[in-house]
Amino acid sequence: MQDLELLMPAGNLEKLEYAIKYGADAVYLGVVDFSLRAMRKGQLITLDNLKEAVDLAHKLGAKAYVTLNIFAFNNDIKLLEGCIEKFKDANPDAVIVSDFGIINLVKKYMPDTPLHISTQTNTLNYESVKFWQDFGATRIILARELPIADIAEIRRRVPDIELECFVHGSQCVSFSGRCLLSDYFTNGERKANHGNCSQPCRWSYKLVESTRPDQYYEINQDERGSHILSPKDLCLVEYLPELIDAGVNSFKVEGRTKSLYYVSAVAKAYRNAIDDCIKDRNADLHKYFIELKKVGNRGYTTGFALGHNNSDSYSYDISKGLAGADFLCEFKGEKNTEGAFFVKIKNKVLLNDEVEIITPDEQFTAHITRIVNTQGEEQPLGNTNDDVYITLDREPVNFKYAIARTTGVKEHVS
């Protein structure tokens, strides 16, 4: 069997650590000026701490791939020339690239660093894969528009290169994400292919008739609304056996701007699903699909993987991801002298609430039996953003990376 890798996003240093602890074999990360995601929260990864981030991944036993996959203008090339030594010093396990100019610079200054060709290059066929292989690439991140059958043919015709594909997360309405809508609708202030997309595919639209400029008409004349461009999120967890048989080496999850809870829960689900597939190719993977409904999503689709992407792949009624379970609190790795856990409340919790605890090694339900604030006063609840101590009637063994969420799956998630 080929090597199988779970590749998770690392939007900041904390998410990087949680992604690996929850099962990632590798993480991908980038700095704002050269990456297709502009992060805004947490201990962001910058040129100054890029080496620290890569070193942390290595210390935790995972690989780290750095994204340099913008489409570069002259100013971008000049900027990269001035700082590429910092990328070299960080010593990533590979660089993810799409622009030929950036590729030339990486090959010049970082000749020993493997090249991973970004999905932004729209690699759809085996001749393109051969071209990139001849050009020096060690891995191709295939376009999301590829059916599994086409991936299998690429593997048959090019057996000696690593293939990576997306299996989970947000999808773009544009071809492999090469979108200009954001650029146009924001007068160039939010460039999609420079990591700052305003996500116009998630907006609600109305029609305007030219002779009646002040009158707006719904585009869809039914109850589903008017989010005509918004794709559902990709979820291929139940098709991992087919992807493995097709020859995929790395299973990639989208989401560098997603929450710590999203990264942890999705990593755990796919880690367990991949491990089950290795043990038994006929393993029941539907339970992991249910688990993935508990994180934010716009409804799930298999996209192009099965060869029949259609109108059911679009989310006409919502544009924002809705989670089937609420992220309640993050354990901060401390216990007081009374054995209570110090946590950061993410959504309001009440005394005696039943919650689901997940850690890298465990998953179970428990009840909150006590809530105490930092002044030692007992409380009936913990409000969003509060720092409190909670006591549980069942405790996690490894609580440093534990998180709590509501039990079950809310009905609004399809």
pLDDT digit string, tens, across residues 72-99: 999 999 999 999 999 999 999 999 999 9
Same domain assignment for residues 168 and 309 = yes
Distance of alpha carbon 371 from alpha carbon 94, whole angstroms:
46
Q: What is the pLDDT of residue 256?
A: 85
Tokens linked to 321: 């991801």
CA nearest neighbour of 403 among 19, 7, 25: 19
Same domain assignment for residues 151 and 249 = yes
Secondary structure class of 158 (helix, strand, coil) = coil
Same domain assignment for residues 373 and 235 = no
Q: Which residues pair with 393 in a beta bridge?
A: none
Q: What is the pLDDT of residue 308?
A: 80
Distance of alpha carbon 322 from alpha carbon 227, whole angstroms:
15
Q: What is the pLDDT of residue 127?
A: 98
For residue 193, being part of any structural domain is answered with no
Q: What is the pLDDT of residue 3?
A: 87
Distance of alpha carbon 254 from alpha carbon 22, whole angstroms:
16
Burial group, residue 126, by CB count within 10 angstroms (0-12, 13-18, 19+): middle
For residue 411, being part of any structural domain is answered with no
Give the chain's residues under pLDDT 50.
221-222, 224, 413-414
Full residue range of the structural domain in which residue 34 is found? 5-175+230-313
For residue 38, being part of any structural domain is answered with yes
Same domain assignment for residues 137 and 263 = yes
In the chain, the amino acid numbered 181 is: L
* b/e burial code for range 91-105 (CB count within 10 A of at least 16 → b): bbbbbbbbbeebbeb
Q: What is the pLDDT of residue 102?
A: 96
CATH number at residue 16: 3.20.20.70
Q: What is the pLDDT of residue 104?
A: 97
The pLDDT tens digits of the residues spanning 364-393 come to 999 999 999 999 999 999 999 999 999 999
Question: Who's near 214: CB < 8 A, 6+ residues apart?
Answer: none
Tokens linked to 108: 């010049």
Same domain assignment for residues 336 and 305 = no
